[in-house]
Structure 1
Amino acid sequence: MKTEAELIERILDGEWRNYAILVDKYEAKVFNYVNYLMNNREDAEEMVQDTFVKAYRSLSQFRGEASFSTWLIRIAHRNCLTHFRKKVPKKVSLDNLSNRSTGTQDAPTKDLHLDDRQQVLNRALANLKPDERSVVTLFYYQELSLQEICDVTDLTLSNIKILLHRSRKKLLEILNEMGVKQSTL
């Protein structure tokens, strides 16, 4: 098995088929990140393709200061931010949330199943600004360290800490508005 550094070196030497190994290894991770940000599978799939094309074209600029996966997520992050700047963000209505088990909005949320919990979290995340959603996704879903999030976003560590704190607080407020109590999730 070749190391990532060896693969990258071979790709840069013209053995472009080795790039498929890197794509196979990281495609799911990049897709999961982008999908949480985009909240639209088709847009996410297009963004992932664009990310890997840009990464391939920029491979000679990869310096190895961060891991290859962090570098890819950084490219995906920038692609998403560019996409969001071009489009007006859609807000998801909190009024449409209903508990599947009873079909009523006022039903207690303690009976939420795992799929329902994920759906509720996705709806709440959709109401965050792109930068807030990005930091939460990188930290909790991609499990990046605060320093890795700094590398991806080009923000300082103190800015990441503040943004993550505010995003958590805002997410909790959104969940409370939806009638979800902290112990439910």
Structure 2
Amino acid sequence: MKTETELIDRILKGEWRNFAILVDKYEAKVFNYVNYLMNNREDAEEMVQDTFIKAYRSLSQFRGEASFSTWLIRIAHRNCLTHFRKKVPMKVSLDSVTDEKAGSNASLPSKHLDVNDRQQVLSRALVKLKPDERSAVTLFYYQELSLQEICDVTDLTLSNVKILLHRSRKKLLDILKEMGVKQSTL
């Protein structure tokens, strides 16, 4: 198996088919991150394609200062922020809107939630965060990036990342409370 550095060198020398190996390795990770931000599968798939196209076109700019996956997530992150800046309305599942209008307690059991229910509740709550807040939470908890890697992706300082994560967690907890979810339920 070739290392990422060897693959990148070969791609830059014109062996572009090696890029498929990198796509296969990181496509799921990039999709998961983008899907949490976009909250729409079709938009997320399009954003992933755009991310890999941009990565391929700018591969010569990859210096290896961060890991290749962090570099890819950074490209995806910037694509998503650009998308949100264009003020494209975020698409929300009709099911989640219906559940909330029916009453938050009607859709959520008062006892402990199973894993799938937790995922759905957290996804609905994440949609209500601002894109930068959602991104910080997603990068830290779902992508399991370190604080320094989040700094690399977002171009924020370490203290700003810590503050953003703290505020995002607090806001997420408030949103969950509004939805009728108790902390012990999660």
CA distance in 1, matches of 2:107, 2:85: 36
Distance in 2 between the 1:140 and 1:134 partners? 10
Other-structure match for 1:35:
35
Report the secondary structure of 2:69's partner residue. Answer: helix
- What is the distance in 1 between the residues matched to 2:35 and 2:107? 29
Change (3 A) 1:138 1:104: closer
The answer to whether the aligner puts 1:173 opposite 2:164 as a matched pair is no
Q: Contact between 1:91 and 1:127, CA under 8 Å: does it hold in 2?
A: no
Matched to 2:178, the amino acid is: E
Letter in 1 for 2:99: L
RMSD: 2.0
Q: Does the 8 A contact of 1:70 with 1:151 survive in 2?
A: yes
CA contact (8 A) 2:99 2:107 kept: no
CA distance in 2, matches of 1:76, 1:115: 26
Partner of 2:121 in structure 1? 120
User: How far does residue 117 in structure 1 lie from its aligned partner after superposition?
Assistant: 1.1
Secondary structure in structure 2 of the residue aligned to 1:22: helix
**1:128-167 alignment runs, 5 A limit:** 128-167=129-168
**What 5-or-longer segments of structure 1 have no aligned partner?**
none
TM-score, length-normalised on structure 1? 0.92
Cα distance in 2, alignment partners of residues 16 and 91 from structure 1? 35
Contact 2:105 2:179 survives alignment (8 Å): no
Where 1:109 maps in the other structure, the secondary structure is coil
Residue 63 of structure 1: aligned partner: 63
1:116-153 deviations in Å (ceiling 9; x for gaps): 11110000000000000000000000000000000000
Aligned to 1:23: 23
Correspondence for 1:97: 99
Deviation at 1:115, TM superposition (A): 1.2
Say whether the 8 Å CA contact 1:91–1:126 is kept in structure 2.
no
**2:149 & 2:105 partners in 1: Cα distance?**
42
Contact 2:108/2:181 (<8 A) preserved? no
Q: Percent identity?
A: 84
Once residues 95 and 65 of structure 1 are traced to their aligned partners in structure 2, the CA distance between those partners, rounded to angstroms, is 43
- Following TM superposition, by how much is the alpha carbon of 1:114 offset from its aligned partner in structure 2, in angstroms? 1.7
Secondary structure in 2 aligned to 1:81? helix
| 1: CA distance, partners of 2:24 / 2:177 | 39
Taking the aligned partners of 2:154 and 2:141, their CA distance within structure 1 comes to: 15
Shift of 1:105: 1.9
State TM-score, norm by structure 2: 0.91
> Contact (CA 8 Å) 1:31, 1:44: kept in 2 or not?
yes
Quick one: distance in 2 between partners of 1:122 and 1:29? 17
Cα gap change, 1:46/1:90 in structure 2, threshold over 3 Å: closer, same or farther?
closer
CA contact (8 A) 1:29 1:142 kept: yes
Q: Give 1:91 shift.
A: 8.3
Look up the SS of the partner of 1:63 in the other structure.
coil
